[in-house]
Amino acid sequence: MRKCPNCGSTSIKEEVDKTKIIGYSLHDPIYAKVFVCKNCTHRWKPGEEVVKAPEPTPEVPEPTPEVPEPTPEVPEPTPVIPESQPEEPESTPEEPESTPEEPPTSD
């Protein structure tokens, strides 16, 4: 009894594979046959040993050796030169104008 190589079901039908011509009878082509599982719709050719592929295991990345990451080069800050301001003439602190002292008058 045939079993589906994918799911193990015995519910199988035989179909004509019109993609593969194996010969001609007079002028009519003779097509290859293919089995189809009615349960999982898996297709395989007669006589073809299909080994169920193992379940893919999730790949675990290998730990990479710790290598210190290079620190990104940070350019040195350029010194900020203040814009030159026009020089103001130095002024002496203003002194209150004093009135000249008048000599006392005798009347």
Write the pLDDT tens digit of every residue in 36-92.
888 888 888 877 655 555 566 677 777 777 777 777 787 777 777 777 666 666 666
Beta strands across the sheet bearing 12-25: 12-25, 28-37, 43-44
Distance of CA 23 to the CA centre of its chain: 51
pTM: 0.40
Write the pLDDT tens digit of every residue in 7-38.
888 888 888 888 888 888 888 888 888 888 88
Q: Write down the pLDDT at residue 19.
A: 84
Closest to 50 in 3D by CA, of 2, 106, 84, 100: 2
Q: If phi over 0 gives left and psi between -120 and 50 gives alpha, with beta otherwise, what is residue 10?
A: alpha
